[in-house]
């Protein structure tokens, strides 16, 4: 027994097998094990509490649900028995997974049975960030949180409370809480993600189309840094692989030789930040050679004549000087793209993290329009969704205060539903335009995900209250005043998920086992807080009622998913062009020339703005992902299965560059700029341009209670300055320069 | 008789197979029954990366069986090679004999390796690694079926590639 408990707590993981054994020993034994745990240097983990048992435990059950190890949300099929999750695989009827899961999805048991989970509410005792906590009852923690929030509201007004969340299925309910509270300051993490791409889509196509690319039917695919094979987009990975297998040509532009590059027919190590120049030169050739789809452009686009006048100077010869790619290669690719049908270019996610990012995405969208490949097989397409119902809230209080991130005055086109979170720390520190004193962070890790960690800590220190609602003791939770433990996705219902696509479907996240320890559903947390804040009337229903209200337009309720893997709209997945479609732009057409951009004082055509040049002796720092990890969420980094595969990041540095600097493969080197300094293992490689260095994003966690992730690798965000693309708002993260040097 | 197919052209280093194996078989930390390795080559701007997903191949004539002094390793009628832990003495000879390093000694001192998810096979399912493979780089089937898949893929490339 003691051996078991020791293994459990001192080891790096709790396997499902160990958990099963432990629960079989019963509460007394489990608590008995705790006496052995004094050496376990945590402040979060003290004891285990037996789960309640409303969900049948003794029979083997299969539950169709939705994954949440990463934000892509694949459909899953979970087998449980004895109150324990046994196996997890993809739901074959759900189109995100098609029955197959990535490494992250397969690692689910290390999420639910992660010994690092926050097990009960905690209230800070010592200095902020010093790691002193006292265990609190839920009543105590909620009273404390609501009491502090009310104090802040009374002193500074409701606008002094800000909320941050990673976009998820509970977002509408947190937003309800925000609106009932009467604060405009609601943020998602899109400011360091795809926000500019969203704006580019909205202003060009009239709708955001995400990853809606019909790879499978494409014969020629261009990816501008969209490292598909190392993204969470499971179905895109499958479709791109299938397209390559079927013989589609893949042209991939990226300063780094990623996995996707390794599968491409042509890898172009373009000069960072110059993708738009390449795209404009392609357009120049296509227009000069008359290879565009005239009928499509006349019928469905606005501004082609203006583009013709605008594009003349952007010759392949000009682009060669800017991008470093030979003009003949650009010319050849342009002709291939325009003459191979169907050809498609991915408008990217956060293309390169430059101030001109919106225009880069617009340029690629326009390139697709030039060959007329929109809403056709093998092209980009408009997503079809499903309209769900709602429980109508009582009238919200009027919000008169402006947002602290400058939307809409300074950033007229950025959607307030996401905001620009990277600008929040400065607003807090400078109390500009007013003090923000309370911050509720839900399923997000801003201390790690926002740029410039040191600045974020400074901002946190100015808060009167920082609340973290989370599963793991993230870096942000480590600095919080109160941590409210949410249960994991395998332990809860959530509002239904619409799977927009060619033929929309709806899936439901359903609990497989009871919430472990004292963790609670976030709906219950929001509701309890709302009641204490005097806004309980906005939450006078249960989550079941809300799910059923959402599903009611489909003529089903949540029990439908007890014996159905998925709800299907039955809409034909066929792509039939744009005839009869309403395009939601001011002109009702795809806007090559954007009337909205023009009206807001921006360039209506995608003019190329050169990226900043690296100062002497410095290198551009690029960042990106690997297929086993995601973002700043510790769920993959502090996960035994995934940590075993990739536990720390390395600095990719070109062999020639490393030679000049005297750096050898595998040694730890210093990375430094005006914001930060840190050590990281060097990966000396042929797979990157000599003028740039690269590190994987998401490493360098600072919460000591993330036992596996703590202190491993370096956080790229430490070196990145907060800023915003004036049109779409994204933080220009790749405009980051660092010095690299050896010890001493 | 069954065998694995691994298609290097399709492997994208996503590691789904590795983790599916671990969760299916509760493989302890530090031991991997299936492992993806990377082979880097070339010189900038023409580098190369290849990925290899390897586990026990369940060989036709397994050297591990020959090497085992206590006859702990055996081949099932369907070709799956299994180690009987009750007989294993943890000498490690099998791991020396295996050209792929598939047998590994676990923390209990006994040999463990890929069992081709035989409890799944016995239920008519495919191994967890094959089941989850996003790109079809892995397959597990009879030699005749594997040959058929290989034939189809070779034809596809020749005929459809522009």
Q: Which of A100, A257, A262 sits opposite B133 (nearest CB)?
A: A100
Query: Residue A349: its pLDDT value, please?
Result: 84
Rounded percentage of chain A residues whose pLDDT exceeds 90: 90
First to last CA, chain B: 37
- Testing the interface with A: which of B134, B136, B162 to mutate, by most A Cβ within 10 A? B134
Is residue A41 over pLDDT 90?
no
Q: Which of B9, B32, B44 sits opposite A686 (nearest CB)?
A: B44
B94-105 pLDDT tens trace? 999 999 999 999
Could you give the CA distance from residue A475 to residue A478 in angstroms, rounded to a whole number? 5
A216-261 pLDDT tens trace? 999 999 999 999 999 999 999 999 999 999 999 999 999 999 999 9
Average confidence (pLDDT) over A462-468: 98
A85-99 pLDDT tens trace? 999 999 999 999 999
CA distance A98 to chain B (A): 9
Name the token pair of A263: 């599968």
Contact flag B134-A241 (C-beta cutoff 8 Å): yes
Closest CA in chain B for residue A91: B132
Q: Which pLDDT band, with edges at 50, 70 and 90, does A352 fall under?
A: low
- Testing the interface with B: which of A14, A97, A245, A260 to mutate, by most B Cβ within 10 A? A245
Q: With helix as H, strand as E and coil as C, how does A553-601 read?
A: HHCCCHHHHHCCCCEECCCCCCCCCCCCCCCCCCCCCEECCCHHHHHCC
Which CA distances in Å does A41 have to A11, A36, A447, A647, B30?
Answer: 13, 12, 22, 21, 23
- Testing the interface with B: which of A262, A268, A655, A707 to mutate, by most B Cβ within 10 A? A262
Q: Which of B49, B131, B134 sits opposite A237 (nearest CB)?
A: B134
Q: Which residues from B are below 8 Å from A257, CB to CB?
A: 47, 49
Contact flag A686-B47 (C-beta cutoff 8 Å): yes
Average confidence (pLDDT) over A441-445: 97
Is residue A7 over pLDDT 50?
no
CA A731 to centroid of chain Cα atoms: 14
**Over the range A552-567, which residues count as b (16 or more CB within 10 Å of their CB) and which as e?**
eebebebebbeeebbb
- Testing the interface with B: which of A645, A650, A692, A708 to mutate, by most B Cβ within 10 A? A645
Residues A558 and A544 sit within 8 Å (Cβ to Cβ): yes
> Is A511 buried (19+), middle (13-18) or exposed (0-12) by CB count in 10 A?
buried
Is residue A48 over pLDDT 90?
no
Q: Which residues from A are below 8 Å from B132, CB to CB?
A: 89-90, 100-102, 106
- CATH 3.90.79.10 applies to domain A122-184+416-484+522-540: no
CA distance B24 to chain A (A): 6
Q: Which pLDDT band, with edges at 50, 70 and 90, does A555 fall under?
A: very high
- Testing the interface with B: which of A76, A257, A626 to mutate, by most B Cβ within 10 A? A257
**How many CA atoms lie less than 13 Å away from B34 in the CB half-sphere?**
32
Could you give the CA distance from residue A344 to residue A250 in angstroms, rounded to a whole number? 10
Domain regions of chain A by residue span: 122-184+416-484+522-540, 196-383+576-599, 619-741
Q: Which residues from B are below 8 Å from A247, CB to CB?
A: 156-157, 160-162
For domain A619-741, which CATH number applies: 2.40.40.20, 3.30.1380.10, 2.40.50.100, 1.10.287.3510? 2.40.40.20
Q: Which pLDDT band, with edges at 50, 70 and 90, does A286 fall under?
A: very high
Q: Which of B15, B16, B48 sits opposite A262 (nearest CB)?
A: B48
> Edge-to-edge strands of the sheet including A84-90?
A61-66, A75-81, A84-90
B101-137 pLDDT tens trace? 999 999 999 999 999 999 999 999 999 999 999 999 9
Query: Residue B154: its pLDDT value, please?
Result: 83
Could you give the CA distance from residue B79 to residue A156 in angstroms, rounded to a whole number? 73
Q: Which pLDDT band, with edges at 50, 70 and 90, does A8 fall under?
A: very low
CA distance A375 to chain B (A): 24
Q: Which residues from B are below 8 Å from A263, CB to CB?
A: 12
Average pLDDT, chain A: 92
For the residues of A252-269, what is the DSSP string, one character each?
Answer: EE-SB--HHHHT-SEEE-
> Is A146 buried (19+), middle (13-18) or exposed (0-12) by CB count in 10 A?
middle
* Residues forming a β-bridge with B53: B36
Q: Which residues from A are below 8 Å from B47, CB to CB?
A: 257, 685-687
Fold of B56-113: Alpha-Beta Plaits (3.30.70)
Q: Which of A11, A109, A246 sits opposite B156 (nearest CB)?
A: A246
**Pairing of the two strands A186-187 and B138-141:** unpaired
- CATH 3.40.228.10 applies to domain A196-383+576-599: yes
Q: Which residues from A are below 8 Å from B42, CB to CB?
A: 686
Among B50, B48, B78, B71, smallest CA distance to B141 is for: B78
Contact flag A249-B20 (C-beta cutoff 8 Å): no
Q: Which residues from A are below 8 Å from B10, CB to CB?
A: 241, 245
A177-222 pLDDT tens trace? 999 999 999 999 999 999 999 999 999 999 999 999 999 999 999 9
Of A21-35, A53-67, A438-452, the poorest mean pLDDT is in A21-35
> Is A461 buried (19+), middle (13-18) or exposed (0-12) by CB count in 10 A?
middle
Among A678, A649, A673, smallest CA distance to A721 is for: A673
Average confidence (pLDDT) over A252-271: 98
Is residue A381 classed as helix, strand or coil in its secondary structure? coil
Handedness of CA A436, A442, A448, A449 (dihedral sign): negative
- Is the predicted ipTM greater than 0.85, yes or no? yes
Q: Which pLDDT band, with edges at 50, 70 and 90, does A541 fall under?
A: very high
Q: Which pLDDT band, with edges at 50, 70 and 90, does A517 fall under?
A: very high
Could you give the CA distance from residue A643 to residue A649 in angstroms, rounded to a whole number? 11
A649-666 pLDDT tens trace? 999 999 999 999 999 999
Q: Which residues from B are below 8 Å from A685, CB to CB?
A: 40, 47
Q: Residues in chain B whose beta carbon is closer than 8 A to a beta carbon of chain A?
A: 9-10, 12-16, 18-20, 22-24, 26, 28-30, 32, 40, 42-45, 47-51, 128, 131-136, 153, 156-157, 160-162
**Pairing of the two strands A220-224 and A343-346:** parallel
Q: What is the largest CA-CA distance in chain B?
A: 56
Query: Residue A350: its pLDDT value, please?
Result: 73
Name the token pair of A41: 């240097």
Q: Which pLDDT band, with edges at 50, 70 and 90, does A743 fall under?
A: confident
Q: Which residues contact A130 (CB under 8 A, 6 or more apart)?
A: none
Q: Which pLDDT band, with edges at 50, 70 and 90, does A737 fall under?
A: very high
Q: Which pLDDT band, with edges at 50, 70 and 90, does B4 fall under?
A: very high
**Pairing of the two strands A505-507 and A84-90:** unpaired
Query: Residue B88: its pLDDT value, please?
Result: 97
Domain regions of chain B by residue span: 56-113
Closest CA in chain A for residue B36: A645
For the residues of A618-669, what is the DSSP string, one character each?
Answer: -EEEEEE--TT--SS-HHHHT-HHHHHH--S-EEEEEHHHHHHHT--TT-EE
Strand residue runs (E) in A347-411: none
Closest CA in chain B for residue A240: B135
Q: With helix as H, strand as E and coil as C, how does B27-75 read?
A: CCCCCCCCEEEEEEEEECCEEEEEEEEECCCCCCCCHHHHHCCCCCEEE
B75-94 pLDDT tens trace? 999 999 999 999 999 999 99
CA distance A637 to chain B (A): 14
Could you give the CA distance from residue A686 to residue A665 in angstroms, rounded to a whole number? 12
Among A141, A183, A149, A184, smallest CA distance to A438 is for: A149
Closest CA in chain A for residue B50: A262
Contact flag B14-A687 (C-beta cutoff 8 Å): no
CA Rg, chain A, in Å? 26
Average confidence (pLDDT) over A260-288: 97
- Testing the interface with A: which of B40, B47, B152 to mutate, by most A Cβ within 10 A? B47
B12-33 pLDDT tens trace? 999 999 999 999 999 999 999 9
Q: Which pLDDT band, with edges at 50, 70 and 90, does A13 fall under?
A: very low
Residues A69 and A92 sit within 8 Å (Cβ to Cβ): no
**How many CA atoms lie less than 13 Å away from A423 in the CB half-sphere?**
26
Is residue A460 over pLDDT 90?
yes
Is residue A155 over pLDDT 50?
yes
Which CA distances in Å does A362 have to A157, A458, A566, A728?
Answer: 40, 36, 35, 11
Is residue A631 over pLDDT 90?
no
Q: φ and ψ at A82, to 5 degrees?
A: 60, 30
Average confidence (pLDDT) over A327-337: 98
Average confidence (pLDDT) over A482-496: 98
Contact flag A12-B128 (C-beta cutoff 8 Å): no
């Amino acid at each position: 027994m003691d051996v078991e408990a020791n293994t459990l707590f001192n080891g790096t993981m709790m396997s499902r097998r160990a958990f099963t054994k432990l629960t079989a020993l019963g509460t007394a034994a489990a608590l008995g094990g705790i006496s052995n745990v004094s050496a376990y240097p945590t402040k979060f983990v003290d004891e285990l509490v037996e789960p309640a048992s409303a969900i049948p435990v003794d029979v083997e059950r299969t539950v169709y649900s939705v994954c949440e190890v990463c934000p892509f949300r694949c459909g899953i099929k979970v087998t449980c028995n004895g109150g324990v999750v046994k196996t997890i695989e993809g739901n074959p009827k759900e189109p995100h997974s098609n029955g197959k899961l990535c490494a992250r999805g397969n690692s689910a048991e290390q999420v639910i049975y992660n010994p690092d989970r926050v097990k009960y509410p905690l209230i800070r005792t010592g200095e902020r960030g010093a790691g002193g906590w006292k265990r609190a009852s839920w009543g105590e923690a909620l009273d404390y949180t609501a009491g502090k929030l009310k104090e802040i509201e009374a002193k500074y007004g409701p606008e002094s409370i800000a909320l941050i969340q990673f976009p998820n299925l509970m977002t509408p309910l947190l937003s309800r809480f925000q609106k009932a509270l009467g604060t405009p300051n609601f943020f998602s993490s899109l400011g360091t993600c795809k926000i500019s791409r969203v704006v580019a889509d909205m202003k060009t196509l009239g709708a955001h189309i995400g990853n809606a690319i019909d790879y499978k039917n494409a014969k020629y695919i261009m990816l501008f840094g969209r490292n598909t094979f190392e993204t969470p987009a499971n179905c895109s990975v499958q479709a791109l692989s299938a397209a390559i297998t079927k013989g589609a040509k893949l042209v991939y532009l990226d300063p780094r030789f990623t996995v996707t590059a390794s599968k491409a027919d042509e890898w172009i190590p373009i000069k960072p930040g110059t993708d738009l120049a390449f795209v404009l030169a392609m357009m120049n050739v296509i227009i000069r050679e008359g290879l565009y789809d005239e009928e499509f452009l006349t019928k469905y686009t606005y501004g082609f004549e203006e583009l013709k006048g605008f594009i003349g100077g952007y010759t392949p010869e000009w682009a060669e000087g800017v991008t470093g790619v030979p003009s003949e290669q650009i010319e050849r690719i342009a002709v291939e793209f325009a003459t191979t049908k169907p050809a498609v270019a991915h408008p990217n996610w956060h293309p390169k993290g430059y101030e001109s990012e919106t225009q880069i995405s617009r340029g690629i969208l326009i390139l697709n329009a030039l060959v007329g490949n929109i809403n056709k097989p093998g092209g980009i397409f408009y997503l079809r969704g499903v309209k769900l119902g709602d429980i109508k809230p009582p009238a919200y209080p009027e919000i008169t205060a402006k947002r602290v991130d400058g939307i809409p005055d300074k950033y007229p086109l950025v959607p307030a539903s996401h905001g620009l979170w990277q600008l929040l720390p400065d607003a807090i520190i400078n109390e500009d335009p007013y003090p923000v004193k309370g911050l509720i962070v839900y399923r997000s890790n801003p201390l790690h995900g926002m740029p410039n960690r040191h600045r974020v800590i400074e901002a946190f220190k100015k808060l009167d209250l920082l609340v973290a609602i989370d599963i793991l003791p993230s870096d942000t939770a480590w600095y919080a005043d109160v941590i409210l433990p949410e249960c994991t996705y395998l332990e809860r219902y959530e509002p239904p998920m619409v799977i927009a696509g060619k033929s929309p479907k709806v899936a439901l996240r359903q609990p497989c086992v009871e919430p472990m320890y004292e963790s609670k559903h976030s709906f219950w947390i929001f509701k309890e807080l709302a009641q204490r804040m005097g806004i309980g009337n906005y939450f006078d229903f249960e989550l079941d009622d809300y799910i059923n209200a959402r599903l009611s337009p489909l003529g089903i309720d949540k029990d439908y998913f007890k014996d159905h893997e998925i709800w299907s709209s039955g809409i034909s997945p066929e792509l039939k062009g744009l005839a009869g479609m309403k395009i939601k732009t001011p002109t009702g057409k795809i806007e090559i020339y954007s009337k909205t951009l023009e009206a807001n004082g921006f360039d209506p055509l995608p003019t190329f703005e050169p990226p900043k040049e690296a100062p002497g002796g410095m290198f551009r720092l690029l960042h990106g992902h690997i297929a086993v990890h995601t973002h700043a969420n510790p769920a993959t980094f502090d996960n035994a299965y995934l940590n075993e595969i990739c536990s720390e990041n390395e600095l990719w540095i070109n062999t020639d560059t490393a030679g000049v600097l005297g750096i050898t493969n595998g040694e730890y080197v210093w990375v430094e700029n005006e914001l930060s300094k840190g050590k990281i293992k060097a990966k000396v490689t042929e797979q990157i341009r000599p003028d740039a260095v690269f590190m994987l994003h998401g490493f360098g966690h600072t919460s000591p209670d993330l036992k596996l992730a703590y202190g491993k690798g370096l956080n790229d965000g430490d070196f990145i300055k907060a800023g915003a693309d004036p049109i779409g708002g994204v933080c220009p993260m790749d405009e980051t320069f660092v010095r690299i040097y050896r010890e001493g | 008789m069954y065998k694995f197919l691994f298609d290097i052209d399709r492997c994208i280093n996503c590691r789904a197979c590795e983790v599916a194996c671990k969760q299916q078989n509760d493989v302890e930390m530090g031991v991997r029954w299936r492992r993806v390795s990377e082979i880097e080559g070339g010189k900038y701007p023409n580098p190369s990366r290849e990925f290899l997903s390897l586990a026990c191949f369940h060989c036709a004539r397994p050297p591990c069986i020959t090497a085992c002094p206590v006859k702990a390793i055996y081949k099932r009628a369907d070709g799956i090679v299994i180690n009987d832990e009750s007989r294993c003495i943890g000498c490690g000879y099998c791991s020396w004999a295996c050209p792929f390093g598939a047998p590994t000694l676990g923390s209990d001192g006994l040999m463990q390796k890929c069992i081709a998810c035989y409890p799944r096979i016995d239920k008519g399912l495919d191994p967890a690694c094959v089941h989850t493979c996003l790109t079809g780089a892995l397959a597990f089937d009879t030699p005749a079926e594997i040959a058929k898949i290989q034939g189809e893929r070779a034809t596809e490339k020749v005929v459809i590639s522009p």
